[in-house]
């Protein structure tokens, strides 16, 4: 019989005390600051359990609820006797005699309060003491105790009533919260303020007498006012928070000071653009070395009354415009399709009904590949994509992380390079960040070309020492519906989108003049550094073999060879030559066909516009 009782006692405690309890979604910054929270599924503000309890609240709750908590085995006989005497004298229940451990059991079971349930709580409390430390039991209580209204748990209460984490509560604030679970429905901070004040001050006096706080702290605590109506919770990175796993605490990679500053920039710029009919804006900052997102604004001013404010643009598929061109340039360099300054055609062309035009509707005959990229010319990009191959580029983009390319390559065709596909700001920024941390000559040439892109202020930034270097690219979709700007430094990548969530276009909505200024505002928030992407070391690069039969034997990633000064292609015998470091695959590229008997002669169409 005794053995059966022991076994029953050992097995009486559920393995998971609070199984089935729903918790709020809580998201913190990398520094531990609260970015935002979402209410639990049952309508309660109940933060996920925390392993630690601040010392001030621990001292206050123990003095108020269970002065022998540190020593009893889950049940306090002295408290039970005292409660029985008090109840007998008053003729009704005025004291329950429950320990904090017993209250943890009661909170987890949610049963009717009567004598039989009290006995069960007492038995299970002794078992709970055997399983967990006093510290853990106290944390269970603090995480699940009611604090009035729909506020449950210490951390939620600290934010709702005082607007700060529990670890930063004053003695007066900790004492206020310590007396609330005793009667949360009748002592809500918005009601019965005199009764609440008296309870708080009596507890502060007890803490003074026990030696938990000094006379000076006691006097200061008495002067503190009670909290008023519940406060709104922080709402930083609201779209990011919305995308986090529900019902758990997420420690993000967002950097709190930077997040606040980026939100301020985006909201200010968006408030300026809304007068022009441009309502929405998103921005992302990534740490290139780790790949972590350190600032995330899914849309500007989410609280502003407008259609589309709730849309997380950073995750929404949008037409890419020209923003994918750097990936084509780098890939074509890497596999030897072109050299860095290979001339590309920039002439009128109709490719099966597709007739690309440059943004300025001009043609330039022939343009060096790096210049065409820096100027974001559309026609040379289409010629290059035709040469490189749509299926190959389609596969490269998918490998880079673009999940929006759900159709076959032929569905997009050559328009893939001009906004014929959709992309997400988050994924495109990540792809640029991956490029920024990738070593290799083709990427270095790409970054050098993007460094030459004209900036929104139209000043020659190279003449101003304090202006920060950045390789950056813009994009504008057909119909002026999407404006993109992505910029890279060795440390960070910034992505910006501007437009309207509902997709309607606005004349003048371009990447350079709408998203670009935001990008450079954000760039100026980042730590200043003169560091730049390092050119590959030439000391480990071999000269190109002179014998064409030796080409297949090379193994170098980069090689120095002679290129034509005029066409940027491999030099032919009649070309004026200059040495250039190129990816080794470039030795298989086409040699210059334009020099004949010492003259530089372009095809007629290219010559006409050149």
User: 159 with 231: CB under 8 angstroms?
Assistant: yes
Angle at CA of residue 114, ends 113 and 117, nearest 5°: 80
Cα dihedral 374/375/376/380 (nearest 10): -100
Structure tokens at 279: 């309502």
371 is catalytic: no
3-state secondary structure at position 368: strand
Q: Which helix (H) or strand (E) holds 125?
A: helix 115-131
The DSSP letter of residue 514 is I
User: 578 with 550: CB under 8 angstroms?
Assistant: no
Comparing CA positions, the residue from 366, 363, 489, 488 lying closest to residue 432 is 488
Active-site hit among 24, 28, 29, 65:
65
Checking DSSP bridges between strand 151-152 and strand 45-46, what pairing results, if any? parallel
Query: E-assigned strands of 148-259?
Result: 151-152, 249-251
Checking DSSP bridges between strand 280-287 and strand 293-297, what pairing results, if any? antiparallel
User: 40 with 131: CB under 8 angstroms?
Assistant: no
Active-site hit among 322, 442, 477, 558:
322
Cβ burial 316-336 (10 Å sphere, 16+ → b, else e) = bebbbbbbbbbbbbbbbbbbb
User: 499 with 509: CB under 8 angstroms?
Assistant: yes
> Could you give the angle at which helices 154-162 and 134-144 cross, rounded to 10 degrees?
50
List Cβ neighbours of 198 (8 Å cut-off, separation of 6 or more).
none
Residue identified by tokens 């495109």 is 428
List Cβ neighbours of 318 (8 Å cut-off, separation of 6 or more).
422, 423, 424, 425, 477, 481, 482, 497, 499
CA distances from 163 to 155, 157, 228, 230 (A): 10, 9, 11, 9
Angle at CA of residue 213, ends 212 and 217, nearest 5°: 165
CA dihedral sign, ordered 224, 230, 231, 233:
positive
φ, ψ for residue 471, nearest 5 deg: -95, 125
Comparing CA positions, the residue from 301, 312, 263 lying closest to residue 279 is 301
Query: E-assigned strands of 214-333?
Result: 249-251, 280-287, 293-297, 318-319
Q: Using CA atoms, how far apart are residues 403 and 399, in angstroms rounded to an integer?
A: 9
The DSSP letter of residue 50 is -
User: 544 with 562: CB under 8 angstroms?
Assistant: yes
Structure tokens at 446: 């790409």
442 is catalytic: no
User: 396 with 435: CB under 8 angstroms?
Assistant: no
Structure tokens at 211: 């030696």
Comparing CA positions, the residue from 21, 249, 47 lying closest to residue 139 is 47
Q: Which residues carry out catalysis?
A: 65, 322
């Amino acid at each position: 019989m005794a053995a059966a009782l022991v076994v029953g006692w050992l097995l009486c405690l559920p393995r998971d005390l609070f199984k089935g309890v729903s918790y709020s979604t809580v998201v913190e910054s990398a520094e531990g600051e609260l970015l935002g929270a979402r209410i639990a599924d049952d309508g309660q503000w109940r933060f996920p359990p925390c392993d630690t309890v601040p010392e001030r609240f621990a001292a206050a709750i123990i003095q108020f609820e269970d002065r022998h908590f540190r020593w009893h085995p889950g049940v306090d006989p002295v408290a039970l006797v005292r409660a029985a005497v008090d109840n007998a004298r008053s003729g009704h229940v005025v004291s329950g005699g429950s320990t904090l451990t017993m209250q943890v059991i009661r909170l987890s079971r949610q049963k009717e309060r009567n004598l039989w349930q009290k006995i069960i709580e007492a038995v299970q409390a002794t078992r709970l003491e055997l399983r967990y430390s006093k510290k853990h039991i106290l944390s269970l209580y603090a995480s699940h105790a009611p604090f009035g209204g729909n506020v449950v748990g210490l951390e939620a209460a600290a934010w709702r009533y005082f607007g700060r984490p529990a670890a930063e509560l004053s003695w007066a604030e900790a004492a206020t919260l310590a007396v609330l679970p005793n009667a949360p429905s009748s002592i809500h901070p918005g009601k019965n303020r005199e009764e609440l004040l008296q309870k708080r001050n009596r507890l502060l006096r007890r803490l003074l007498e026990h030696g938990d706080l000094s006379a000076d702290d006691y006097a200061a605590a008495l002067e503190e006012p009670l909290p008023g109506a519940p406060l709104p919770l922080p709402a930083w990175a609201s779209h990011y928070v919305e995308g986090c796993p529900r019902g758990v605490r997420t420690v993000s990679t967002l950097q709190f000071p930077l997040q606040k500053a980026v939100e301020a920039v985006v909201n200010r710029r968006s408030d300026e653009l809304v007068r022009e009919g441009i309502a929405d804006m998103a921005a992302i900052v990534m740490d290139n070395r780790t790949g972590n997102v350190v600032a995330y604004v899914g849309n500007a001013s989410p609280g502003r009354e407008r259609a589309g404010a709730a849309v997380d643009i950073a995750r929404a598929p949008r037409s890419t415009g020209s923003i994918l061109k750097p990936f084509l340039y780098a890939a074509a360099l890497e596999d030897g399709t072109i050299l860095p300054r290979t001339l590309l055609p920039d002439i009128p062309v109709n490719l099966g009904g597709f007739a690309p035009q440059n943004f300025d509707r001009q043609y330039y005959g022939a343009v060096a590949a790096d210049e065409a990229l820096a100027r974001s010319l559309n026609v040379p990009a289409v010629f290059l994509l035709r040469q490189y191959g749509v299926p190959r580029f389609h596969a490269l983009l998918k490998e880079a992380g673009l999940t929006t390319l759900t159709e076959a390559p032929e569905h997009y065709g050559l328009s893939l390079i001009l906004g014929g596909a959709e992309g997400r700001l988050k994924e495109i920024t990540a792809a640029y960040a991956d490029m920024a941390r990738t070593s290799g000559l083709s990427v270095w040439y790409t970054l050098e070309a993007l460094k030459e892109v004209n900036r929104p202020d139209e000043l020659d930034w190279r003449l101003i020492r304090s202006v920060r270097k950045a390789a950056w690219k813009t994009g504008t979709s057909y119909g002026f519906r999407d404006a993109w700007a992505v910029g890279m430094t060795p440390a960070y990548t910034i992505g910006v989108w501007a437009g309207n969530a509902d997709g309607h276009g606005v004349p003048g909505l371009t990447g350079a003049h709408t998203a670009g200024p935001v990008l450079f505002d954000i760039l100026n928030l980042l730590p200043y550094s003169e560091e730049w992407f390092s050119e590959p070391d030439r000391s480990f690069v071999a000269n190109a073999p002179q014998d064409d039969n030796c080409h297949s034997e090379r193994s170098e990633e980069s090689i120095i060879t002679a290129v034509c000064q005029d066409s940027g292609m491999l030099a032919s015998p009649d070309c004026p030559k200059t040495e250039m470091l190129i990816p080794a695959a470039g030795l298989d590229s086409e040699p210059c066909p334009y020099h004949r008997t010492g003259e530089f002669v372009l095809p007629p169409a290219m010559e006409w516009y050149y």
